[in-house]
Chain A
Amino acid sequence: MQWEPVIGLEIHTQLATNSKIFSGASTAFGAEPNSQACAVDLGLPGVLPVLNQGAVQRAVQFGCAIAAEIAPRSVFARKNYFYPDLPKGYQISQYELPIVGRGQVEILLDDGALKTIGVTRAHLEEDAGKSLHGSFSGAGGDLTGIDLNRAGTPLLEIVSEPDLRSAEEAVAYARKIHQLVRWIGISDGNMQEGSFRVDANVSVRRPGEPFGTRAEIKNINSFRFLHKAIEFEIERQIDLLEDGGNVVQETRLYDADKDETRSMRTKEEANDYRYFPDPDLLPVELDEAFIEAATAELPELPDAMRQRFRDAYGISDYDAALLTTSRATAGYYESVVDLTGDAKLAANWMNGALAAALNKAGLEISESPVSSEQLAGLIKRIQDDTLSGKIAKQVFEAIWAGEGDADQIIEAKGLKQITDSGAIEQMIDAIIAANPQQVEQYRAGKEKVFGFFVGQVMKQSQGKANPQQVNALLKDKLKG
């Protein structure tokens, strides 16, 4: 009998505000330790949190992007636990009344089907500081260093329904949320810097049965690790259950080096957070005007844009999905289409040569050495038959290498396609004269030899002869 995995994700995404959620300290990444930790962030006595409007706006924008209800009234609560990177002894979060209610997103599965994943809620909270386990010379032996620059950075915690049924679906959903938060510009989504972190709740069950006991895998910071951690955890639980054991509800850590999850040393009172409404903060009340102002400038959303690209440009769903992975990609594509009028050629070049080159160099589209104008310039030379597809690849590589625009490179390297029938005929005549044996074979019915002649013409013309013309003229001449 089969097992069915049941997965839900909790995603913490840092909101790209200038200042912290409850203080006026900067949120810039990479500053000197503790240089951006003010009295509020340090939890010094007598300080009061004041809510950052920018964080609220971004939460509202996210809610709007997933078609969720924005709570007209939401409440901050204290989540109590002790850890050195949380100086107050509690994290200000939201519990019973989150700012964003139930919403949904669509993910594109490998077979091309769309699946709707429910988002239970999204709430605002503050990030904790960082603990550094280096070696410190200070007296007292084993010490941990605390950097509170991150403490108080606004987070939006996005909680999914347990709607995901495989590691692949979980990754597709996480990527979708990642795409969305970057698209609407509420987070930079930088996973290396910890701006986007994923916890996965994983259980398995027999299809149709109630949910099994789940384990929570904490703080996964790459899509690849997310996939591996879930796969490992599913296998672990199935093995356990098939051997007659039970899954224990616990928090586990994914160890990328060993590719396994392992139990975190269970704190005795794990999950006894004793939430209560934070008396330092009043309920947040949002009226229509605030919500309208916050969402007025939301861009066209990726799903809508994907459908528009597919319908207006006649490209596949798959191509359209690739071209809408980020706003920069979509903008680049629309610019190339505008300049060339050829949506399909533009899609092929972007998802082909350009995507491959960017991927190989590890660059984002915004860092592409080939600008949209340059790619459009190249495509125009394919459209007007100056370049064959093959030579166009060479020209693309030269543009990539910074040798100039398509026209400059064509001129400098003499790559212009030969479309002068007279010139091609001359070459063909010479080749036919020089290879009487192959001509005999072809005329005797050995059609494979045709390729030999094409090869010879291309060699002679250094790949510049127009392939269609070469084919037509060769056929004609070889008939004899």
Chain B
Amino acid sequence: MALDTRDVAKIAHLARLDVKRDERDHFSAELSNILDLVEQMRCVDTTGVEPMAHPLHMAQRLRPDRVTETNEREHFQQIAPQTEDGLYLVPRVVE
């Protein structure tokens, strides 16, 4: 399977990555190589093998349901470009 430059443009847009037009050939080749590797792996017989969700053979630890965080808004908002009335401000989004 191969990805063409249109696929690259679409993936880049979904990831909000600014991939320049003249870079698309390069990326389509690299990504296609990865897919070739996947294609090779598909030749392996995986009958009876449980799909792996995580490389560690461990189960998720659970945290007790307790509030442990305090209000650090002022601290966090120091690195925000713009705030007002405790809100983070962003360019207007339209539904």
Q: Does A460 contact B (CB under 8 A)?
A: no
Q: Does B49 contact A (CB under 8 A)?
A: no
CA distance A464 to B73 in the complex (A): 67
Check A283/B54 contact, CB under 8 A, given A36-B71, A53-B65.
yes
Check if A34 sits within 8 Å of B67, measured CB to CB: no
Check A148/B65 contact, CB under 8 A, given A42-B76, A84-B93.
no
Check if A145 sits within 8 Å of B85, measured CB to CB: yes
**Which residues of chain A from 280 to 312 have a CB within 8 Å of any chain B CB?**
281-285
Which residue from chain B places its CB closest to the CB of A19 in the assembled complex?
A: B67
* Other-chain contact of B95, A37, A136, A264 (Cβ < 8 Å): A264
Check if B90 sits within 8 Å of A56, measured CB to CB: no
List A contacts of B61 (CB < 8 A).
Answer: 50-51, 282
Q: Does B86 contact A (CB under 8 A)?
A: yes
List A contacts of B67 (CB < 8 A).
Answer: 18-19, 24-26
* Interface residues of A, count at CB 8 A: 61
CA distance A220 to B77 in the complex (A): 33
Check A24/B69 contact, CB under 8 A, given A269-B10, A272-B14, A282-B54.
yes
Render B58-95 as a binary contact track against A, CB cut-off 8 A, 1 for contact. Answer: 11111111111101110011000010111111111111
CA distance A35 to B74 in the complex (A): 9
Check if A146 sits within 8 Å of B87, measured CB to CB: yes
Check if A138 sits within 8 Å of B65, measured CB to CB: no
Check if A19 sits within 8 Å of B66, measured CB to CB: yes
List B contacts of A185 (CB < 8 A).
Answer: none
* Interface residues of B, count at CB 8 A: 37
Check if A145 sits within 8 Å of B84, measured CB to CB: yes
Main secondary structure on chain A at its contact with chain B?
loop
Q: Does A32 contact B (CB under 8 A)?
A: yes
**Which residues of chain A from 2 to 17 have a CB within 8 Å of any chain B CB?**
17
Which of the candidate stretches A75-83, A222-230, A347-355, A372-380 sits at the interface with the other chain? A75-83
Check if A265 sits within 8 Å of B95, measured CB to CB: yes
Check if A279 sits within 8 Å of B65, measured CB to CB: no
List B contacts of A141 (CB < 8 A).
Answer: 92
CA distance A142 to B13 in the complex (A): 24
Report the tally of A-B residue pairs with Cβ distances under 8 A.
139
Check if A52 sits within 8 Å of B65, measured CB to CB: yes
Taking the nearest CB of chain A, how far is it from the CB of B31, in angstroms? 14
List B contacts of A56 (CB < 8 A).
Answer: 62
List A contacts of B53 (CB < 8 A).
Answer: 75, 97, 277, 282-283
List A contacts of B82 (CB < 8 A).
Answer: 138-140, 143
Check A34/B91 contact, CB under 8 A, given A19-B65, A272-B14, A277-B53.
no
Q: Does A23 contact B (CB under 8 A)?
A: yes
List A contacts of B43 (CB < 8 A).
Answer: none
Q: Does A240 contact B (CB under 8 A)?
A: no
* Other-chain contact of B66, A18, A55, A284 (Cβ < 8 Å): A18
Q: Does A253 contact B (CB under 8 A)?
A: yes
CA distance A141 to B93 in the complex (A): 12
List B contacts of A25 (CB < 8 A).
Answer: 67, 69
Check if B66 sits within 8 Å of A145, measured CB to CB: no
Q: Does B16 contact A (CB under 8 A)?
A: yes
Q: Does B41 contact A (CB under 8 A)?
A: no
Q: Does B56 contact A (CB under 8 A)?
A: yes
Check if B84 sits within 8 Å of A136, measured CB to CB: yes
Which residue from chain B places its CB closest to the CB of A218 in the assembled complex?
A: B95
Q: Does A125 contact B (CB under 8 A)?
A: no
Q: Does A101 contact B (CB under 8 A)?
A: no
Which residue from chain B places its CB closest to the CB of A35 in the assembled complex?
A: B71
CA distance A133 to B62 in the complex (A): 37
Check if A38 sits within 8 Å of B95, measured CB to CB: no
Check if B69 sits within 8 Å of A26, measured CB to CB: yes
* Other-chain contact of A269, B13, B63, B71, B88 (Cβ < 8 Å): B13
Q: Does A147 contact B (CB under 8 A)?
A: yes
Check if A282 sits within 8 Å of B64, measured CB to CB: no
Check if A24 sits within 8 Å of B66, measured CB to CB: yes
Check if A284 sits within 8 Å of B59, measured CB to CB: yes
Render A122-149 as a binary contact track against B, CB cut-off 8 A, 1 for contact. Answer: 0000000001110011111111111110
* Other-chain contact of B77, A34, A44, A142 (Cβ < 8 Å): A34
CA distance A34 to B88 in the complex (A): 8
Taking the nearest CB of chain B, how far is it from the CB of A31, in angstroms? 8
Check if B87 sits within 8 Å of A265, measured CB to CB: no
Known contacts A33-B87, A53-B62, A265-B94; can you find 18 more A-B pairs with CB under 8 A? A17-B65, A18-B65, A18-B66, A18-B67, A23-B69, A24-B69, A33-B85, A39-B76, A50-B61, A53-B63, A84-B88, A89-B16, A138-B89, A146-B87, A269-B10, A269-B13, A272-B14, A282-B54
Q: Sample 25 A-B pairs with CB under 8 A, ordered by A number.
A: A18-B66, A19-B67, A25-B69, A33-B86, A38-B69, A50-B63, A53-B63, A84-B90, A84-B93, A131-B93, A140-B82, A140-B91, A142-B91, A144-B91, A145-B85, A145-B88, A145-B89, A146-B87, A269-B10, A269-B14, A274-B14, A281-B60, A282-B53, A283-B54, A284-B60
Residues of B within 8 A of A (CB): 10, 13-14, 16, 53-54, 56, 58-69, 71-73, 76-77, 82, 84-95
Of all A-B residue pairs in the complex, the 6 with the closest CB atoms, nearest first, are A54-B65, A24-B68, A145-B87, A142-B92, A53-B62, A285-B59
